[in-house]
Amino acid sequence: MKRLYSWNVNGLRACMDKGFMEFLEREQPDVLCLQETKMQPSQADFTFPEYEMYWNSAVKKGYSGTAVLTKEKPLDVFYDLGFADKHNTEGRAITLEYPEFYLVCVYVPNAQDGLKRIDYRMEWEDDFRSYVGALKEKKPVIVTGDMNVAKEEIDLKNPKSNRGNAGFSDQERDKMRVLLASGFVDSFRYLYPDRTDAYSWWSYRFRARERNAGWRIDYFLVSEGYEDRIEDARILSDQTGSDHCPVELILK
């Protein structure tokens, strides 16, 4: 059994002071993918002795960034999406190759208020789909992270009032559907197609978390054909420390 976790920590150094180490020691993940680390490795005054750690930090300080902690040393590690001239300044993707699969940790760009960044988001989506599609030709792929979209109305508390907003625009939802149609399965919905009130992100405003007025925007996707390896998919909504909670994929 292998336990994979993903967590948008909204600043790793801040999260370290809000229960991160207790989470790590309690859950003992085999792999933990992090998004929005908001730091450079040189700023780390902490270590994780049981883990290999890989960083992809944004050029801009205090912004974006991904990291992966893994107990099993991967066969190889790749950063970004393989382009020399784009998608390589915000630290949004790390790919680890293991004997059985590729694991892609991703922090998908936010379309931002008023969908100011929707054109870039659409370009990213197409390039990312091509990237993971090419990996999938070689061996199964697991994609995890903050994908910044609630795909269906069941995936957020207030779909009617959020229609067209960043994270629930028709454009973003359509791209997520196209990604899944290209050969991926949403592990949580595969096991729990009708479960409501299951969210991984809550606004800091309006006591949203207290009221569970949230969104499910953090995912584990697996290649079609790999579903039989899914033991469980969990959302650890009781874990505080960020505006997101961790999500987990347990593999048989």
Active site residues: 107, 146
Contacts of 18 (CB under 8 A, 6+ apart): 240, 241, 242
Whole-angstrom distance, CA of residue 105 vs CA of residue 142: 9
Specify the amino acid at residue 195: R
CB-CB neighbours of 151 under 10 Å: 22
- Strand 76-79 relative to strand 201-202, pairing: unpaired
Whole-angstrom distance, CA of residue 166 vs CA of residue 121: 10
| Contact between residue 108 and residue 148 where contact means Cβ atoms under 8 Å apart | yes
